[in-house]
Amino acid sequence: MPRNDSLFYFFSEKIRLAVAGIALFGFLIATMRAMSEANLAQRRVVLEEPFHFAMGVSMTTAFIVGIFYSLDALHGERRDRSILFWKSLPVSDFATVLSKASTPLIVLPLLSFAIVVATQLIMLLLSSLVLLGSGLSVATLWTAVFQMSLVLLNHLLTVHVLWHAPIYGWLLLVSGWARRAAFLWATLPPLAICAIEKLAFNTTHFAVMLQHRFTGGPEALRVPHSFPIDPMTQLTPGRFLSSLGLWIGLAITAAFLAAAVRLRRYQGPL
């Protein structure tokens, strides 16, 4: 594993654990709020709020970490000259680029899911103690959190892996091409296209497309924000997998990764 990749895994684990710690701290505060509620139904509502927060902040963190990793994945190995070592090994550029692309597309979502499940399990056990102490049933809460975990896994595998794939592909391409300021080179072309379209045609089609791509778009499955969750409506991927935008995005991702492979074949250290 390259040195910059090792540092990334070290610091990203620290970030995710810090996020989980923040979620647990917030949950403890919510638990004290719940104990002060005289209304038993309102007490359950207060205890449920941190579960949504833990899920949402973990997905957001995974997305942000994936962006910065992709920007540095190919640029970092040229900057620290480790590309010379890896090119001396019998590993193809194609395999190297795919391994780097697998981090934001596969590794980060699965690690985030594991951390969310572990965090929510701790919160669930504490919530159960509070509810049992109040004489309330915990069966509904356990069922809802289990359904939420299924929805979260489905959301990560569809939106964060398939729908966001073109974003990571573009960032990896820029990372392999830019000699410096990879973040600026990644953001300026899309902003320029948006500005030119607005000035020339007074339309915002490209900006809307980018917004849908970052937020999940109308085709993406959304994580619900209230209990109870209906898994039958949230775990049906047919509409998502049949959307034209998904397959166009995957084709663009393949083109970006192919270009990144070709660039790495002829790139040397900075």
SS (H, E, C) the chain: CCHHHHHHHHHHHHHHHHHHHHHHHHHHHHHHHHHHCCCHHHHHHHHHHHHHHHHHHHHHHHHHHHHHHHHHHHHHHHHCCHHHHHHCCCCCHHHHHHHHHHHHHHHHHHHHHHHHHHHHHHHHHHHHHHHHHCCCCCHHHHHHHHHHHHHHHHHHHHHHHHHCHHHHHHHHHHHHHCCCCHHHHHHHHHHHHHHHHHHHHCCCHHHHHHHHHHHCCCCCCCCCCCCCCCHHHHCCCHHHHCCHHHHHHHHHHHHHHHHHHHHHHHCCCC
Q: How would you write the pLDDT of the chain (270 residues) with one tens digit per residue? A: 444 554 454 445 556 566 666 666 666 665 565 555 555 556 566 666 677 777 777 778 888 888 988 998 888 888 877 777 777 778 788 888 898 899 899 888 888 888 888 887 877 777 777 666 655 566 666 777 777 777 778 778 788 888 899 999 999 999 989 888 888 999 999 999 999 999 998 899 999 888 888 876 544 444 444 444 444 445 456 677 777 888 999 999 999 999 999 988 877 776
d(C-alpha 215, C-alpha 209), whole Å = 10
pTM of this prediction exceeds 0.85 = no
What are the domain boundaries of the chain? 3-266
Q: For residue 186, how many C-alpha atoms fall within 13 Å in the half-sphere facing its CB?
A: 22
